Structure 1
Amino acid sequence: MKTILHKAATRGFADHGWLKSHHTFSFANYYNPERMNFGVLRVLNDDMVESGMGFGTHPHRDMEIISIPLEGDLEHKDSMGTTAVIRKGEIQVMSAGTGVMHSEYNKNSDEKVKFLQIWVIPNKMNVTPRYDQISIKENAKPNDFQQILSPNEDDEGVWIHQDAWFNLANFDQGVSKEYRIHKKGNGVYVFVLKGGAKIGNQILETRDGFGIWETDSFILEATEDAEILLMEVPMEM
């Protein structure tokens, strides 16, 4: 088993006034040659958008873009004709493919929005752009792994053009579960949204990231009540 630890305080940080963003991997003005990606997981941004503010219309292509709201809600508009609002308890995916323009705004006048923006490099280029958004709270599984993303259109959660599986773990203190890798050659990037956890001898705190690869499975234990995102992705680009 190989591992890498990214403590929360070591992430890149950008303060644009209206946007405060922590970057686990190199992004925009934050560049760290040792923090470019974890396999095909290219971006993990922990964003906070002030009320009445947002990202103006901008382009993307050939990237799987996943948004997971943590607090508040965010309005999305794109060149495919989609207008939608995503809230905590939902997940959004956009396959940029041949190219798409979109914007994201916090339309609330009295509430900040906090969300994760995640980019995964796809295994198919130049696909037709698409958008999807689903609720994940109805299928919440306390003290178990809840799949929220996979490569399979008919499987639980949203799907993307990559052999990736994302799971949420809402564990009470003391709960431990074995996570088994879905596909040989994949690794898992564990990101602690809140609380604390332990994998082997490694203690993880809120917003810490921990990558694990070259193993078939590992045990995740909550050292306190915890909410954890597990992102399994291919390690080869």
Structure 2
Amino acid sequence: MPQKLILPMNSVNVNAGYKMPAYTKTWGFRHYGIDLGNPEKKRTIYSPGDGTVIACGLDGETATQRLGRCIVIVYPDVICNSGKRTDLACRMFHLDSIAVKVGQTVKQGDILGVYGNTGANTSGPHLHVEFDTDVKYPQYAVGIKSSGHVIKKGTIDSTVDPAKVWYLGQGQTIRDGWDGDGVTSGWVAQNDLSLPRLPENTPVPDYQALYEAQRKKTAAMTLGIREILEKIEQLVQ
């Protein structure tokens, strides 16, 4: 069934756009994705659509190496806002924690994890997201020097500008992470900030409600484990 992908957070700052010249000049290599942050410091990220987790985990030996914690998901039959319809691989880098596992089917709005500052090439907490039309080899990313545990060295650029993929869901906002200077300074493209919005009657997940439900579920599980441990202690005594 065809699907449209929305942002992985309700409120988003764009800190670096797709293949922007200022990024290349600063870091010495081309940027094949988009760097996002949350202005409210809410770092939980959600699945932008329905897909399957292909790979996830630490890309290096430690959290400070390579691309940090990564997730690779394949989203089938995506209708991009550019009008293109295709299967897409989505790669996310620099997560602090991961809430999914390999082979898991995710629905739009499912919690994927929490973005952070893991990895080597990062100057602060953010989520790097890139889309690729090569779903046969979804872990292969162009622009990296060598293969890691999760992300492998690719040689062909089949990436897609995320600004030509995403839609804004109900209540979602996107803004320049440089307080308006990102476009003029070459870090952010104008089309990064001009995503089309889904019609009001389009059903989209309530990220905050999903977060609260997950938090309550985790709290209940923690309480249950604590009660079991207390009973074991009583039996031992």
> How does the TM-score come out when normalised to structure 1?
0.28
Tell me which protein shows more strand as a share of its residues: 1
Higher relative contact order (CA 8 A, sep 6+): 2
Max Rg structure? 2
Task: State the TM-score, normalized to the length of structure 2.
Answer: 0.28
